[in-house]
Amino acid sequence: MSRFYIIAGLFGCITLSPLSAQTVMSLRECMQFAVSNATKVRIQKAAIGDAQIARRDAALALFTPQVSASTSAYYNFGRSIDPQTNTYNNSTSFHNSYGVSAGYDLFDGFQAVNNYRISKVAVWMAQTEEKQVEADICLAVMQAYYNVVYYCRLSDVYKAQVQVAEAAVAKARRQEQLGQKGHADVVQMEADLADRQYELTNTLSTLQTEQIILQDLMFWPMSDTLVIDTVLPEYEDVLLPARSVVDYALENTPTVQVASYKQLNARRELSTAKWQLLPTLSLYAGWNTSYFTHSGVEPASFANQFVNNGGEYVQLTLSLPVWNRLGRLSRISKKKHALQRASAEWEQQRRDVESEVRRAVLDRDGSAAAYRQAQYKARVQAEAYALSIRKMEQGLVSPMEFQTANNNYLKSRADEMYSLLTFLIKQAVVRYYAGTNYIDQLIR
């Protein structure tokens, strides 16, 4: 089957041959373009980067000690202690010291361990939120894309109707000149033509608006023409059952996963706060040396003093929390409340998702039934409209009867297109909840 495409631009829909040099965007490509250029996705990627840095910092805090080095130099112009003789002197002296130290928390109430676990979950959460942002963008692009397709096809129908009405008016005028029709019939047919032209103008105007909406969602350059493929997927009778979709969505939908991650981190933060009531044990070790001179005395060389004045130390520190104005107890209480909120939000999110999935399944089934009925109605109305055209050419129907048949045919065509596009969107939502991303549902 040959494929034709349309440009939805200033003058409505323009049909292009398959050999056209213009780049044609499918729905999948529109979604990919939108995801690649959306500011919301870039913002979320920055959040993922921050979460990954926090995870790295937490890992370094857990597995590596703190290491520092220092040096100092100063002149003393008053009384000072001679480090060699440990006696006071009153001459000007110069002091220079160097030191290296390292420290590691042997036990800190599992704060470092929990912080690392929390940071890992934060990365998962940020990545899951990115998936939700991408899904929201894809669904919005799909709806806007199908709106453009709908008004493009509807404008094509109105153009054909205008052409039929123009031919009918021209024929009626000739028949009036021949005395076969009255002037009232001609006026009625001219009024019908004006109605068709008015509807076509409104449809083209709406098409331009929907095109701008699609370009805006895609971050498409407004100065460039967007060409889309209007070939729609065919209707499929294979519908996923509600129970399997609900079961999968309750465990794998990004919003539920994010709520679950928040609950897990809240539980770990509460555990960390409770462990802070225990003592902390830290180990420190270091090395330092110094260089000293004072006026009137020949000092030892810098190298000799650097070696001879060197010293090492090892320090073990036990810190017991005794009284900090109930700060730790207040922290525990706040973390308990945070866990209660996170648990309630998780339960609410699961309930919301289940309700959304069940509504989506009902909407899908309803739109499927509506499409089948609209398809049958369109077929019947097309036959009735074809008969009315032949009767009009033979002068067997009045203009009012022909207008009624025309209106019924237009409405049936519009209802068929609208119900099909509605079904495609509802089916895509259900498949998304069942585990297939919007982009992956489309043929590559």
Q: How far is Cα 188 from Cα 182, in angstroms, rounded to an integer?
A: 10
> Stretch 166-179: mean pLDDT, rounded?
80
Give 134's Cβ-side CA count (13 Å radius).
22
Q: How far is Cα 442 from Cα 440, in angstroms, rounded to an integer?
A: 5
Single-letter amino acid code for the residue at 181: K
> Stretch 310-316: mean pLDDT, rounded?
93
Q: What is the structure's pLDDT at 11?
A: 34
Q: How far is Cα 148 from Cα 218, in angstroms, rounded to an integer?
A: 13
Go through 402-438 and write b for each residue having 16 or more CB atoms within 10 A of its CB, e for each that does not: bbebbebbbebbbbbbbbbbbbbbbbbbbbbbbeeeb
Q: What is the structure's pLDDT at 409?
A: 86
Question: pLDDT digit string (tens) for 385-444?
Answer: 888 888 877 777 777 777 788 788 888 888 999 999 999 999 999 999 999 999 998 865
Question: pLDDT digit string (tens) for 198-228?
Answer: 989 999 999 999 999 999 999 998 788 889 9
Question: pLDDT digit string (tens) for 223-268?
Answer: 888 899 888 877 777 788 888 999 999 999 999 999 999 999 999 9
The answer to whether the CB of 98 falls within 8 A of the CB of 289 is yes
Question: pLDDT digit string (tens) for 263-309?
Answer: 999 999 999 999 989 999 999 999 999 998 877 778 888 999 899 88
How does residue 15 score in pLDDT terms, banded at 50, 70 and 90? Answer: very low
Question: pLDDT digit string (tens) for 40-89?
Answer: 999 999 999 999 999 999 999 999 999 999 999 988 877 767 666 667 77
- Whether 16 has a pLDDT exceeding 60, the answer reads no
Four-point Cα dihedral 5, 231, 437, 36, nearest 10: 0
Q: How far is Cα 214 from Cα 199, in angstroms, rounded to an integer?
A: 22
Q: What is the structure's pLDDT at 397?
A: 72
| Rg of the chain on CA atoms, in Å | 39
What letter would DSSP give residue 395? T
* Percent over 70 (pLDDT), the chain: 92
Q: What is the structure's pLDDT at 5?
A: 44
How does residue 179 score in pLDDT terms, banded at 50, 70 and 90? Answer: confident
Q: What is the structure's pLDDT at 3?
A: 43
